[in-house]
Structure 1
Amino acid sequence: MPVRNADIAAIFEEIADLLEIDGANVFRVRAYRNAARILQELGKDVRAMVKKGEDLTELPGIGTDLAAKIKGIVDTGHCKALDELHRRLPPAIAELLKIPGLGPKRVRSLYRELGIQTLDQLRRAVREHRIQALPGFGEKTEMHISDALEAHGGGAGRYTRVVADQFATHLLDYLKRVPGVGRVVIAGSYRRAKETVGDLDILATAEAESPIMQRFVDYEDVAEVVTHGPTRASVLLRGGLQVDFRVVSAENYGAALHYFTGGKAHNIAIRRLGQERGLKINEYGVFRGDERVAGDTEESVFAGVGLPFIPPELREDRGEIEAARTGRLPKLVELADIKGDLHAHTKASDGHNTILEMAGTAKSHGLEYLAITEHSRRLTVAHGLDSVRLLKQMDEIERLNDTLDGIVLLKGIEVDILEDGRLDFPDELLGRLDVVVGAVHSRFDLPRNKQTERILRAMDRPHFNILAHPSGRLIGRREPYDVDMLRVIRKARDRGCFLELNANPERLDLSDVQCKIAKEEGVLVSLNSDGHSTLDFGNLRYAVGQARRGWLESRDVLNSRGLNELRRLLR
């Protein structure tokens, strides 16, 4: 079976989890996590690189040891290092990591302190209230674990967009090459740009003699064929992602695409509008009685109920139908609107590339400016900068700006917000920077009021510009910390600060709902890569998808401004 980048990344993530449970060196754990992230976001097929004999160590974060492991996984389908960890640790312990809120550190505590190795043992410990006595847990955490266990069904999970993309891209390319195939498109939550997807819905048009259905079920990544008929089939790919495939006629294409794209509530609302006009709307078209009156395009479906085209990202029944009816649909932000990136790291802290390399790649992505924002001194695990190193980097950026053409570097910092709301550097030093990005990197467990006040105090500092990844979540790995986001958004409005929409596919933080609130409160949102390598600029498309779900237009986005206007706003 072919090995995809996502497969290798999953192996490295599991190694990192098990190493952390086993108490391994933190830098060793981070090396595997960084490698997994790089592979997930890599635009090149690692399997093809291995077959061509390309040097994998040229990839950021991939040294000789990891390169050898990648080659071994491509050649054999498994990793000896992971096999050894499975032999050393209890076989079921990795299942504990599937429970939301249980990361490797907590699983390690449960294993070492209470001997918990299985889900059943975890359930028993919750019933007996033994977990709340552990340091760092408490009654509230025990209750959250109990709720998560109750919701845990053991079925297929959800996949971040960057992982789903790897499967989707290969599959779409494969299907488009089948003889007799016309259009092929992914619908569903994927097309609506949801931050995670549970499955993929693919639609295609094809000539009658096309072998498209058989080619679909014969696809090399298919692990199980669930159903297989003349016009529809469903399969499970390796890794568990389900793909539902339908072949539709050209005259039904628009109706089917609308039906299989929209959220359930949106589709119900559209059908009700149709009923008010004496129409029946389904996946086959728009009908008045037995007469088919529309359905070849999505535009014709919307026109049938008196509406303009509604972008897929808005189809959640969150006001988009009324906005369409009254001519108030937003002109959603596009990737081409983004003129710069205000959050990026280099080798000076925990990045993988030099300033010059990051600048060159940002320029190749069409960006006009790039802020270099290393971590500050408190985040020692990320090799954060002290004042001396920061001043040295500021001088380096000024020298580079004298030589660069087509892109301007901004001097910045991602400064830690300390528990009491102070910033990790004094105002005098922060005032010499072009942009100050504040971030919470510790004490995610503070009570709601304390966490909120901590952030509000930080935003009161005179040189604070942008709140990075405002909720602190990692999708599927770490819940957002408990904070009153409305108060934070209104504080940003009152202080003239801005909020980040972090493009890292595991963050996508702000959420779509919070983006919409920021828009309504008049707070600009900065779509930033939080790039740690040159590969990460490609993630800006995920931030744009999230921003579109949040109804953001170009005018709602801080870094859609040209440099001169940006500087005025930051001041």
Structure 2
Amino acid sequence: MQNADIARTFNQLADLLEIQGANAFRVRAYRSAAQTIEGLSAAVSDMIERGEDLTTLGGIGKDLAEKIETLHHSGSLPALDEAGKQVPAGLIELTRIDSLGPKRVKALYDELGVDSLDALKQAAREQRISALSGFGRKTERKILEEADRLHQQAGRTRLDEARQAAEGLRHHIEQCAGVEQVVVAGSYRRRRETVGDLDMLVVAEDGERVMAHVGEWQEIERVALRGETKTTVHLNSGLQVDVRVVPGESFGAALYYFTGSQAHNVAVRKMAVARDLKLNEYGVFESDEQLAGRTEEEVLAQVELPWIPPELRENCGEIEAAQAGKLPELVTRDDIRGDLHMHTTATDGKASLEEMAEAGRRQGYNYIAITDHSQRLAMANGLDAARLREQLADIDELNERLKRFTVLKSIEVDILEDGQLDLPDEVLGELDLCVASIHSRFNLDRERQTERLLRAMDNPHVSLIAHPTGRIVNGRDGYELDMQRIVDGAAERGVCLEINAQPARLDLRDIHARMAKEAGVLIAISTDAHATDQLDHMVFGVDQARRGWLEKDDVLNTRTLPQLRKALKR
């Protein structure tokens, strides 16, 4: 099983147990294990095949390690099957609604018999939920909105989960004799935060051999269609994958066509028609003569366009920019010099201060910032002023031992409901940078939530607003904000905004990152890592930045340390 499948299984088990009222420590253990596995850059299945000890992973004891191995070998977990017998399967889906935790789901089931998403929506429309103690009309309306959102998101897979499947299958296909090239196209190649399915293109002489080889991959649940040059499979995770074998002379045209987006492709095809050309997945043709098709560059050259980075192909101005010679030189992972958001065991991280610093060095960085939580986040063991000062002293001592690498003093300070910060200015003034964020009262209206963030940015110590909209990919839309006012406010005050590279966040969205760029607001791409492996998530943040048209100079942490310190001065 993929890491995402194992993590999802443990989270489902935790939800079922919590609905049943099981021991809180047991529930927490499964959630912690899921978080650990989800954040790993290495595949747990590969670790098992190599005989590695899973108990070396944070939060994984002997019992959980045995359960992971059971999942790997059998594809199922007896503990989950047993828990599922006690609770209707539909209740798991209800826990994905942000307004509903397991306890509220249980109340809805016990009091109203709500056991599915459809039953929940019907109960909300009939205003039966608001009649229950602890809910109310506002909560009922929010539940209905989120239930509708879940229907819209159905069948879409988060980019990081799709990546595990895509890379695993790509590697499998490459082992097939005669395969020359394998590329994943579609929205995955455009690096959208979620994908509906995967499109894989293969250059090979023997299509039938490739199709047979694809069907042997262990992650396939069933083969839906198998032809001479195309196979459609459904993975254990539910993700659909279409694998096509294409001739080398058409590979560039097929790659361009299947990368999309549809709106971008339609616009470019119209340009071809205007030149009496036909552009499709087989190539560019004048009458019956193929003019191009082997590479994307030669395909686009036929309509007098340069190569356009896949992340920009959304028909949002990239064609006009290409025609004018003004395509951005997009930021790359190699441009990143440091990471400005991460956590240690001082709060809710799984690695020590020194371990996070060493992980940063392995990434090739010049600096990192340690941004543990502040005291308001009690569930994360947040730091008060005294404990923060102790950590600052530890950072000073560590920096004396490090060579050509710097740990910056910081904190992820909570923004309170009135826009004030969770720690006094006196201690915030001792930091190299102050990262501020919202972790509570997501339900404030648009005006109040916007003012809350703007008041936080008024504090002269605030350097950066982390995960500014609070959204969770395939989870919640985020709180209501006037993003234009937020971006303009950041520009006026000299405050930076963050693209949080956690695949579950990717916040800012791409459109907001582009909005910030146009306003001259610097963006930090940070991982919000809670373990050393999660520093690898930087690639997802860079992908998001590229979709937002960001160049190297638009990104705060592409700067050298002296340049960074200068940029942070308000």
Fold shared by both chains (TM-score > 0.5): yes
Among candidates 522, 529, 533, match of residue 531 of structure 2:
533
Secondary structure class of the residue paired with 1:376: coil
Task: Report Cα offsets for 1:159-211 as digits up to 9, x if no partner.
Answer: 11111111111111110110011110000000000011111000011013771
Partner of 1:243: 241
**Is the CA contact (8 Å cut-off) linking 2:207 and 2:245 kept in structure 1?**
no
State the distance in 1 between where 2:476 and 2:27 align.
Answer: 17
1:220 to partner: Cα distance: 1.8
Among candidates 539, 545, 548, match of residue 543 of structure 2:
545
Q: Counterparts of 1:412-427 in structure 2 under 5 Å?
A: 412-427=410-425
Structure 1 stretch displaced more, 5-14 or 463-472: 5-14
Identity %: 52
1:103 to partner: Cα distance: 5.0
1:526 to partner: Cα distance: 0.3
User: Structure 1 pair 487/133, CA: closer, same or farther in 2 (3 Å)?
Assistant: farther
Partner of 1:391: 389
Quick one: which amino acid aligns to residue 162 of structure 2? A
Partner of 1:516: 514
Q: Counterparts of 1:486-525 in structure 2 under 5 Å?
A: 486-525=484-523
**Is the CA contact (8 Å cut-off) linking 1:156 and 1:241 kept in structure 2?**
no
Structure 1 stretch displaced more, 288-297 or 152-161: 152-161
1:148 to partner: Cα distance: 5.2
Among candidates 140, 151, 156, match of residue 158 of structure 1:
156
Structure 2: gaps spanning 5 or more residues:
none
1:135 to partner: Cα distance: 5.8
Among candidates 292, 296, 299, match of residue 298 of structure 1:
296
Secondary structure class of the residue paired with 2:237: coil
1:150 to partner: Cα distance: 5.4
Q: Counterparts of 1:89-100 in structure 2 under 5 Å?
A: 89-97=87-95
State the distance in 2 between where 1:332 and 1:154 align.
Answer: 31
Quick one: which amino acid aligns to residue 171 of structure 2? D
Quick one: which amino acid aligns to residue 61 of structure 2? G
**Is the CA contact (8 Å cut-off) linking 2:336 and 2:365 kept in structure 1?**
yes
**Is the CA contact (8 Å cut-off) linking 2:153 and 2:474 kept in structure 1?**
no
State the distance in 2 between where 1:150 and 1:350 align.
Answer: 33
Q: Does 1:200 align with 2:198?
A: yes
Compute the TM-score of the two structures, normalised by the length of structure 2.
0.95
1:403 to partner: Cα distance: 0.4
Partner of 1:36: 34
State the distance in 2 between where 1:71 and 1:532 align.
Answer: 24
1:97 to partner: Cα distance: 3.5
Q: Counterparts of 1:311-330 in structure 2 under 5 Å?
A: 311-330=309-328
Q: Kindly report the root-mean-square deviation, in angstroms, between the aligned alpha carbons of the 2 structures.
A: 2.0
Task: Report Cα offsets for 1:204-242 as digits up to 9, x if no partner.
Answer: 110137711111123222112111111111111112100
Compute the TM-score of the two structures, normalised by the length of structure 1.
0.95
Task: Report Cα offsets for 1:23-49 as digits up to 9, x if no partner.
Answer: 456554443233223323323232332
Structure 1: gaps spanning 5 or more residues:
none
Partner of 1:4: 2
Secondary structure class of the residue paired with 1:500: strand
State the distance in 1 between where 2:152 and 2:538 align.
Answer: 32
Q: Does 1:59 align with 2:57?
A: yes
**Is the CA contact (8 Å cut-off) linking 1:447 and 1:482 kept in structure 2?**
yes
1:262 to partner: Cα distance: 1.5
Quick one: which amino acid aligns to residue 490 of structure 1? D
State the distance in 1 between where 2:365 and 2:133 align.
Answer: 47
User: Structure 1 pair 31/507, CA: closer, same or farther in 2 (3 Å)?
Assistant: farther
Task: Report Cα offsets for 1:488-514 as digits up to 9, x if no partner.
Answer: 111110110000100100000000000
Secondary structure class of the residue paired with 1:131: coil
**Is the CA contact (8 Å cut-off) linking 1:12 and 1:36 kept in structure 2?**
yes
User: Across the two proteins, how many residue pairs are aligned to each other?
Assistant: 569
1:411 to partner: Cα distance: 0.5
User: Structure 1 pair 12/504, CA: closer, same or farther in 2 (3 Å)?
Assistant: same
Quick one: which amino acid aligns to residue 86 of structure 1? G
Secondary structure class of the residue paired with 2:130: helix
State the distance in 2 between where 1:477 and 1:110 align.
Answer: 20
State the distance in 1 between where 2:401 and 2:549 align.
Answer: 39
Partner of 1:84: 82
User: Structure 1 pair 77/479, CA: closer, same or farther in 2 (3 Å)?
Assistant: same
User: Structure 1 pair 300/120, CA: closer, same or farther in 2 (3 Å)?
Assistant: closer
**Is the CA contact (8 Å cut-off) linking 1:100 and 1:476 kept in structure 2?**
no
User: Structure 1 pair 11/195, CA: closer, same or farther in 2 (3 Å)?
Assistant: same
Among candidates 397, 401, 404, match of residue 402 of structure 2:
404
Q: Counterparts of 1:35-434 in structure 2 under 5 Å?
A: 35-97=33-95, 102-104=100-102, 106-134=104-132, 137-147=135-145, 149=147, 157-208=155-206, 211-434=209-432
Quick one: which amino acid aligns to residue 197 of structure 1? V
Quick one: which amino acid aligns to residue 292 of structure 1? Q
Structure 1 stretch displaced more, 56-65 or 98-107: 98-107
**Is the CA contact (8 Å cut-off) linking 1:40 and 1:163 kept in structure 2?**
no
Among candidates 443, 447, 450, match of residue 452 of structure 1:
450
State the distance in 2 between where 1:23 and 1:363 align.
Answer: 44
Q: Which runs of at least 4 in structure 1 moved beyond 6 Å after TM superposition?
A: none
Quick one: which amino acid aligns to residue 92 of structure 1? G
Quick one: which amino acid aligns to residue 10 of structure 1? R
Structure 1 stretch displaced more, 324-333 or 85-94: 85-94
User: Structure 1 pair 120/225, CA: closer, same or farther in 2 (3 Å)?
Assistant: same
Structure 1 stretch displaced more, 256-265 or 224-233: 224-233
Quick one: which amino acid aligns to residue 504 of structure 1? Q
Task: Report Cα offsets for 1:316-338 as digits up to 9, x if no partner.
Answer: 00000000000110000000001
Task: Report Cα offsets for 1:308-353 as digits up to 9, x if no partner.
Answer: 1000000000000000000110000000001011111001000001
1:65 to partner: Cα distance: 3.2
